[in-house]
Structure 1
Amino acid sequence: MKSFAAVTDAGSFSAAAARIGSSQSTLSKHVAALEAHLQTRLFNRTTRSLTLTTDGARFYEKAMSALDTIEAAEASVGLEGEAEGILRLTAPLTLAESRLVAMLTRFMADNPRIEIDFTASDHALNLVADNLDLAVRVGQLADSRLIARKIGVARRIAVASPAYLERAGEPRHPHDLAQHQCIVYSLLGTGSRWTFEDGGSVEIRGNFRADSPNMVRAAAMAGLGIAVNARWLFEDALATGELVHVLPDHEPVRMPIHIVLPPGRYVPARTRSLIDFLSREFAADPLLAPDQSGIPAP
């Protein structure tokens, strides 16, 4: 069963053999024996591809559940051993680029038998349909069925380009934003109302909206208006002077950051290891640390 799961995960006998330190012939014999036992074909084989049959896909789902149960049983008596296997995860692109790549590099150095299959997306992917082990999500969670663990917060700021501020003036209070062009990040879900940690809020307007944080940053740098997003998105542009921090005494409401897991499955050792690792990494980062950590905001 483990050989079958390894081949399915890797997409070929050769890749699976390389990953688990076996040989193609051994894996082929194991899968052939399993097919003979089940009296059905599990893979569609051609010279160029290897795909699951309908029976194979059904068996894979049940087999993974069984293997998870075995792993949990082994862990309960101290036989779990070193975490290994493929971890499939997703996170927003800008968070991945600015923070997660470095974190995952350290994690993989500590866990050399774990492979990472990463999908960068600013949209909330379906963990079950997209066969993902976990997601890092910024903002309020919409799906209450998911297993969630809060690991941090996104500290946000308002920014604008020097050219825009020279042309339109600099706001001194959040209510001044109603008289400015504001750039809307459409995936945030708060619409055209921006709220602040001091309890204030303002209905903003603007001629540009985007579903990409990178587009929001580019629009702000181009002088299209004032933008609000996670501070990590603007770090480089603030350092070079291409963007200016506006309303520094009025912090936009912080967004929670969660790790979310698919519902109803045992969490294998490799996933638990990454969750614990990321929790420590986020707690040590002043821009990401949970509010209760005691680390002051920058």
Structure 2
Amino acid sequence: MSRQLFECLEALGAVAETGSLTRAAETLGISVSQASRRIKNLSDEWDVALLERAGTATILTPEAARLLEEVAPVMRAFDNLERRFQRTRADEVSVEAPSAVASVVLAPLGAAFSELGLRLQLRATDRPNRTPEGELDFSIVLQPEPPVERVIATRLGTMPLVCAASPDYLERNGDITHPDDLSTHAVLTALLERRPTFEPVSKDPKDLKDPADSDRPDLSVEAARALGRVPETLLTSDLSTHDALLNAALSGAGVAVGLPRCLAHAALRRGDLVEVLRDWRMPAPVAWLLRAPQRYPSPRIQTVVTLCRRQWSETPGLAVEKRPVL
């Protein structure tokens, strides 16, 4: 199969997947005119109509659908062969991930990858690439929603955050039970884009005390809840990685705010760190496993996705919610 024929069939497959010539072009990283020309060349060469309209969508004709089904094994083999020659090793899987995720989720998977004949190339960075391409197979990002263009995203779960300090720090500076208490402490953060926010662990109004029973009877339940949600605290140290945040807290430098529970799990169990503000919680970042779209993904791709999802669900300090895969 020539490279030109492969590209024409690839464009046809992209339209079949996206239902749009424009989105197909975006997925392949080419212009709409290029995608259209590739499909037209294929149509002219085989003298058969390949596309038709169905409302606002562009779909394959029955002839084109049968054609694509028949050439799928060849396309998959061609795609795998091309990727093999692009790499120094065909069994290599490259992944970028935030340092906390790399430490507790991906690094422990090294043995599992080896058993499957795969070699894991792991890059820990707290500024991961949002569009895996070229030599990068996967990227894990922490954000509320996945990117909407040029990637396939699998939701792994959430990464709960805690506030913690060393026992000696708390002995010197006192306990912390309310977010407002942070205003008198040395606060340590990492990778926060805005001031930390908190909410009570119980968000059900019936579980909150009646304002008449509190020392601020003039506050409504909603006002009482809002009072502690955004502490007016001075952020004294903002570190570049979550690993640095953990080490700073262990050294007694201050209170780590927004420390991933998965990263602090062992230290909390040993008593090297003490969790504070246990009746409050911070919004938990959502983790997405991103990969570049392929018309005919190899079994290796699904293996990596399955391993990552399983490891996420089994790692202490991480959370999984049953939601559909995008």
TM-score (normalizing by structure 2): 0.57
Distance 1:261-1:286 versus aligned 2 partners, 3 A rule:
same
Determine which structure has more spread, i.e. the larger CA radius of gyration.
Answer: 2
Cα distance in 2, alignment partners of residues 68 and 211 from structure 1: 46
For 1:42-53, what aligned pairs fall within 5 Å after superposition?
A: none
Match of 1:105 in 2: 111
Match of 2:170 in 1: 165
Distance 1:130-1:264 versus aligned 2 partners, 3 A rule:
closer
The answer on whether the counterparts of 1:87 and 1:271 sit within 8 Å (CA) in structure 2 is no
Among 244, 255, 266, the alignment partner of 1:215 is 244
Cα distance in 2, alignment partners of residues 170 and 207 from structure 1: 18
Residues matched between the structures, number: 217
Match of 2:138 in 1: 134
* Identity score, percent: 24
Among 265, 271, 285, the alignment partner of 2:315 is 285
After superposition, give the CA deviation of every residue in 1:172-231 in whole Å (9 maximum; x if it has no partner): 12232233221121x242x22233464633243222111111211122122222112111
Match of 2:152 in 1: 147
The answer on whether the counterparts of 2:75 and 2:296 sit within 8 Å (CA) in structure 1 is no
Distance 1:193-1:108 versus aligned 2 partners, 3 A rule:
same
Among 197, 207, 216, the alignment partner of 1:194 is 197
Letter in 1 for 2:183: A
The answer on whether the counterparts of 1:193 and 1:203 sit within 8 Å (CA) in structure 2 is no
Deviation at 1:259, TM superposition (A): 0.4
Distance 1:225-1:67 versus aligned 2 partners, 3 A rule:
farther
Cα distance in 1, alignment partners of residues 233 and 134 from structure 2: 36
Q: Which runs of 5+ in 1 are unaligned?
A: 2-65, 76-83, 294-298
Distance 1:266-1:195 versus aligned 2 partners, 3 A rule:
farther
Cα distance in 2, alignment partners of residues 269 and 139 from structure 1: 27
After superposition, give the CA deviation of every residue in 1:64-96 in whole Å (9 maximum; x if it has no partner): xx9997217999xxxxxxxx7321111122322
Structure 2 residue 88 is the aligned partner of structure 1 residue 88: no
Among 153, 161, 172, the alignment partner of 1:156 is 161
After superposition, give the CA deviation of every residue in 1:221-266 in whole Å (9 maximum; x if it has no partner): 2222211211122123223332111112223222211101235765
Cα distance in 1, alignment partners of residues 130 and 283 from structure 2: 27
Query: Could you list the runs of 4 or more consecutive aligned residues of structure 1 that deviate by over 3 angstroms after TM superposition?
Result: 66-69, 72-75, 126-130, 139-144, 196-199, 263-267
After superposition, give the CA deviation of every residue in 1:10-56 in whole Å (9 maximum; x if it has no partner): xxxxxxxxxxxxxxxxxxxxxxxxxxxxxxxxxxxxxxxxxxxxxxx
Q: Which runs of 5+ in 2 are unaligned?
A: 2-70, 81-89, 204-228
Query: Considering only aligned residues, what root-mean-square deviation do their CA atoms show, in Å?
Result: 3.2
Match of 2:235 in 1: 206
Cα distance in 2, alignment partners of residues 234 and 68 from structure 1: 47
The answer on whether the counterparts of 1:152 and 1:257 sit within 8 Å (CA) in structure 2 is yes
